[in-house]
Structure 1
Amino acid sequence: MTQEPVSLARALASFSDRWSPRIVTAVNDYDVRIAKVEGEHVWHVHDHTDEFFLVVEGELHIGLREPAGERTVVLPAGSVFTVPRGTEHKPYAPVPTAILMFEPTGTLTVGDRPGEIPDHVDATTGHALDPTPQPDDTLGS
């Protein structure tokens, strides 16, 4: 973890992979992760932790399977939402989107009981941030 400020724009410009979060810093036992997303993730659940989302750019939809039934929350840029622990959810981005998440260090991106994981989704606990930005825009290619 760096003791210097981190520019989110530069951090987002340093990679192009979708659904493959980078760890920008840590707060206590939590990672602060950023990711570029587009298209569908997978239905998954985190049994022991909430999951916080902040949409930096673009728009994120999160499908939720709750006791009252299924619903979708729509998060435009600048919006935040917390998926409660134990709630099955599926993020989806209709356009290229940048997000920031808070998750306990070691939390797997595909939840605690992953099923089949498509090739475009990275099942990871987060990757170290490459400090070398790429010469593209915030969301990149």
Structure 2
Amino acid sequence: MKLIESESFRAERAWGALDVCVMNGISCRLHWTDQPYKWHVNDGEEVFAVMNGEVRMHVRRDGREETLALKAGDIFHAQAGDEHFAEPVGEARILVIEKQGSV
């Protein structure tokens, strides 16, 4: 067993992660960041839960770009093939659940 106090976690670099666990090939990682990620497409589904802070989730659908405002407690689900990137507003801590080794 372990207890992780997500609000006190800070990585050495943007998008650094603390591995929480791996269950049947699915990883659960707590990320800390103060910098945006990059446009990407996952090869599997991804669940993105904002634990602390705010995040602007940029998505492309049908050739159009949208921005979703996520706050602490919000959960974003991306299907395999959904193009997106996350941009924190200041510091953010995000729990990401996805296929182990995914982008």
SS at match of 1:59: strand
Q: Unaligned regions of 5+ residues in structure 1, if any?
A: 109-141
Task: Give the superposition deviation at 1:10.
Answer: 7.9
Q: Tell me, yes or no, if structure 1 residue 28 matches structure 2 residue 24.
A: yes
Task: Give the superposition deviation at 1:83.
Answer: 1.5
Under a length normalisation based on structure 1, what TM-score does the superposition of the two structures give?
0.66
More strand by share: 2
Amino acid of the structure 1 residue aligned with 2:49: L
Task: Give the superposition deviation at 1:100.
Answer: 0.2
SS at match of 2:6: helix
Task: Give the superposition deviation at 1:20.
Answer: 1.8
* Residues in 1 aligned to 2:96 and 2:17: alpha-carbon distance in whole angstroms: 9
Q: Tell me, yes or no, if structure 1 residue 5 matches structure 2 residue 2.
A: yes
Query: Structure 1 segments of 4 or more deviating over 2 A?
Result: 8-11
Q: Tell me, yes or no, if structure 1 residue 65 matches structure 2 residue 60.
A: yes
Count matched residues.
Answer: 103
The question of whether the paired residues in 1 share the 8 Å contact of 2:29 and 2:96 is answered with: yes
Map residues 1-141 of structure 1 onto 2, 5 A cutoff. 4-9=1-6, 12-13=9-10, 15-46=11-42, 48-67=43-62, 69-108=64-103
Structure label with greater radius of gyration = 1
Q: Percent identity?
A: 25
* Residues in 1 aligned to 2:66 and 2:7: alpha-carbon distance in whole angstroms: 34
Q: CA RMSD in A?
A: 1.8
Amino acid of the structure 2 residue aligned with 1:25: C
SS at match of 2:9: helix
Q: Unaligned regions of 5+ residues in structure 2, if any?
A: none
The question of whether the paired residues in 2 share the 8 Å contact of 1:6 and 1:24 is answered with: no
